[in-house]
Amino acid sequence: MSGMDITEIRNHYSGYVRRKWLLIGFSVILILLLSAFAVSLGSFKLSYSEILMIIASSFASEPTTIEEYVIMTNRLPRIIFAMMAGFGLAICGTVMQAVLRNPLASPFTLGIASAAGLGAAIAFILGAGIGTGMYLVIGNAFLFTLIASGLVFGLASIRGITPGSVIMAGIAISYLFSAMTSFVQYFSAAENLQMVVFWMLGSLDKANWEIITATGIILLITCPYLFWKAIDLNVMGAGDECAKSMGVNVKRVRLSCLGLTSLITAGIICFTGTIGFIGLVAPHITRMMVGGDHRFLLPAAGIVGAVLLVAADAAARNILPGQVLPVGIMTAFFGVPFFLYLFIRRGSGDW
């Protein structure tokens, strides 16, 4: 290969990388603009300058006026939490699809949604669990997701933590926890059942600064490791044997990635209820735009997830004046058309 060719390939690769980063940069700008727009939507009509003043003044003092409470305790926490939840769930979905080599994998493949649902149902219906008040449901959902993950890993490890064994164990645990949830619901009063159903529809209404801090800490601890393993995830896409031959400790990467995605998912859905769609579709949407290189795919999918959830929540809060629709429904309304558009445009059945 001549020096000219190498330079050309290098330039081509640099251009390829630049385009990816540009796309990620554009997505970051998009999420910022969208968030700015979302924070201006609501019953109280506040101008951007007023909103900026309120945010600026909040650094110096606690909210005192109703407008300050509207922004600082209602809209802003909700939007920031939507960004974090969308980001986290999308990254989890991307990692799960990579380590399990399955396009249908999502954060809920391990039975996490069912487990969180059972935890919430026990809290609502039996009033039992860890924590009190709102934190009873959150604590239970978190605890049960971790129990489900532990069970899946325990079962899958018997067969060597392969994609097949993890998925099979996940399906089994998912059905088991779903059945247990139905069992608890069967003996529930109608009103408690309604609470469980509302919880399962998903909502960002519990967002507050404490929850943002807790979720932020989980993301800050876990995401750098997942980003660091992006190249390993690329290699694992070629198969376990191939990855092993290239020096990747497949079992360790798979186990650590699954463990961390379980932790992220548990840390998010215990607050939001089951918003499952983001983790399944955001990676596919992003893959169609930036390709399958996880160095770019992971951050880009996270931002696309954030965009989807912020947009869905803004619509859920404002599409019917005064009312709030379930955000889980809105994410599907937003994501599916976009996904189908890209799917048809791309014209390939590969994922």
Partner 1 sequence: MHSLRYIILLILLASLLISSCAASDIPRTPEEIREVAKAVLQEEILLFMEAGYSSGETSDLHRNDLRYAARNYPEYPRRIVDTTGKTITIVRPLERIVAYNSHWVTPLNQDEKIVGVASSAVSEEIINPHVVGKINIGGGGPNMPDLERIYACNPDAIITYVTLGPGDEFFVDKMPKSVKVIRMDFLEPAYVRDEILKIGYLLDCQEEADAYLAWHDSYVREITKRTAEIPDDERIRVFIDVGSTGGADRRTAPTGTYMSTHCVDGGGINIAADLITGSTGVVNTEWIAFENPDAILALCYGAGYGVDDSRDLTEHYRDITSHQILSFTPALQEDRVYIISYRYAYGLEYPAALATIAKWFYPDRFADLNPQSIHQEYIDRFIGADYDVTARGVFAYPNVG
| Residues 282, 58: Cα–Cα separation, whole Å | 33
Nearest partner of 195 among 108, 122, 88, 269, judged by Cα? 122
Between 59 and 186, CB nearer to partner 1: 186
> What is the DSSP-derived secondary structure letter of residue 206?
T
Residue choice 4, 60, 66, 128 for contact with partner 1 (CB under 8 A) = 66
Site string for partner 1, 123-152 (x = CB under 8 A): ----------xx--xx--------------
Kindly tell me which residue out of 26, 187, 225, 341 binds partner 1, with binding defined by CB under 8 A. Answer: 187
Long-range contacts of 182-189 (CB under 8 A, 24+ apart): 184/118, 184/121, 184/122, 184/125, 184/126, 185/121, 185/125, 187/125, 188/121, 188/124, 188/125, 189/125
Name the amino acid, one letter, at 200. M
Give, in order, the Cα–Cα distances in Å from 189 to each of 122, 128, 133, 184, 186.
Answer: 13, 15, 19, 10, 8
Site membership for partner 1, residue 325 (CB under 8 A): yes
Cβ of residue 111: shortest distance to partner 1, in angstroms? Answer: 22
Return the closest-CA partner of residue 267 out of 329, 203, 222, 327.
222
DSSP per residue over 112-132, as a string?
Answer: HHHHHHHHHHIIIII--SSSS
Judged by beta carbon, residue 76 or residue 285, the one nearer partner 1 is 76
Write down the least CB distance from residue 43 to partner 1, Å: 4
Place of tokens 């290969």: 1
Shortest CB 324 distance to partner 1, Å: 5
61 is a site residue for partner 1 (CB under 8 A): no
322 belongs to the binding site for partner 1 (CB under 8 A): yes
Among 7, 43, 245, 249, binds partner 1 (CB under 8 A): 43
Q: Is 5 in the site for partner 1 (CB under 8 A)?
A: no
| Three-state SS at 327 | helix
The only residue of 57, 185, 234, 256 in contact with partner 1, by rule CB under 8 A: 185
Provide the minimum distance between the beta carbon of 242 and partner 1 in the complex, in angstroms, as a whole number.
47
- Interface stretch with partner 1, choices 50-58, 73-81, 156-164, 335-343 (CB under 8 A): 73-81
Q: What is the CA radius of gyration of the chain?
A: 21
Answer for which of 52, 193, 289, 332 binds partner 1 (CB under 8 A) is 193
Query: For residues 2 and 323, which CB has a smaller minimum distance to partner 1 in the complex?
Result: 323
Does residue 262 touch partner 1 according to CB under 8 A?
no
- CA distances to 114, 177, 200, 336 from 188, rounded to whole Å, are 17, 17, 15, 34
| Residue 183 engages partner 1 in binding (rule: CB under 8 A) | no
Instruction: Rank residues 70 and 298 by Cβ distance to partner 1 and give the closer one.
Output: 70
CA–CA gap between residue 145 and residue 270 (Å, rounded):
8
* Nearest residue to 83 (alpha-carbon basis) of 309, 317, 325: 309
Q: How far is the CB of 190 from partner 1 (least distance, A)?
A: 4
Span from 70-78, 100-108, 143-151, 237-245 in contact with partner 1 (CB under 8 A) = 70-78
Query: How far are the Cα atoms of 61, 79, 80, 140, 195 from residue 71, in angstroms, in the given order?
Result: 14, 10, 12, 30, 27
- Structure letter (DSSP) for residue 159: T
Least spacing, CB of residue 221 vs partner 1, in Å: 25
Which 202-261 positions form the footprint of partner 1 (CB under 8 A)? 203-207
Using the rule CB under 8 A, is 50 a contact of partner 1?
no
Residues that bind partner 1 (CB under 8 A): 42-44, 63, 66, 69-70, 73-75, 78, 133-134, 137-138, 185-195, 198-199, 203-207, 273, 317, 321-326
